[in-house]
Structure 1
Amino acid sequence: MAKNKFHDGPGPSQRQLRVGELIRRALSEVLTRGDVHDPELNRLSVTVGEVRMSPDLKVATAYVSALGGAGEADLIPFLARNKPELRRIIGKTLALKYAPDLRFRHDTTFDQMDEARRLFAQEEVRRDIEE
């Protein structure tokens, strides 16, 4: 099994989890308030589902989605285009020693939940669960 750079053992450390949650909250607030000087990004309602930190806390991967799916295809390019400004705001807001490099990925959590519901609704699966 290939190693994931976010999981070098049993899972992320408490520090990784804590810093990731701080960045998630700060990023959510910045995007909600429209603090970024980009009207195209500000017109989207962005949900930040999770932020995963690298073990050295130098890379923050934010899992994001557009609320209601509107503008989903444009979301990652808009965020990437504004990465330097977002990084500066996050670093200043949290007063971190080192502002992490921000990376953005689509949050597929809701898609996975829909797929799980679909699987559990299948007759064969329901029959196996009930036995």
Structure 2
Amino acid sequence: MAVRKLEHVGIMVKDLEKSIAFYTEIVGLTYLYTLPHSNGVIRLAFLAGAEARESEIELIEGYQGELPAEGLTHHVAFTVDDVEAEFARIQGLGVPLRDTEISTLPNGSRYFFFYGPDGEFLEMFQPASK
């Protein structure tokens, strides 16, 4: 297995700018960047600790569906070196996949979602080459 770290936790929000302000001004995180999703509807904002940026919070605006408050945490993502190898490994183990293929964001990051034992969303994420 090739998980290197906890990549990010995705939280669904209604107003991206309001949430960025809350997480920076109230929580004390550092805003990193905003990225449009390749579907043209969803916007993503990434924040991290002021000093340690090993793991991030991903704010997700525009995702369809109403969730109860305890369901606003959308997914947990893990950084991997080779998303294609992880896709094949997870698929080979018979773990249910949410995605039938690997997705690519405009910045070149690649990912796929799969399900945990209780139906939770988990993500394998390969950051874009810098």
TM-score normalised per structure 2? 0.29
**Structure whose residues are more often helix by fraction:** 1
Structure with greater strand share of residues: 2
Which structure has more relative contact order (CA 8 Å, sep 6+)? It is 2
TM-score in terms of structure 1 length: 0.28
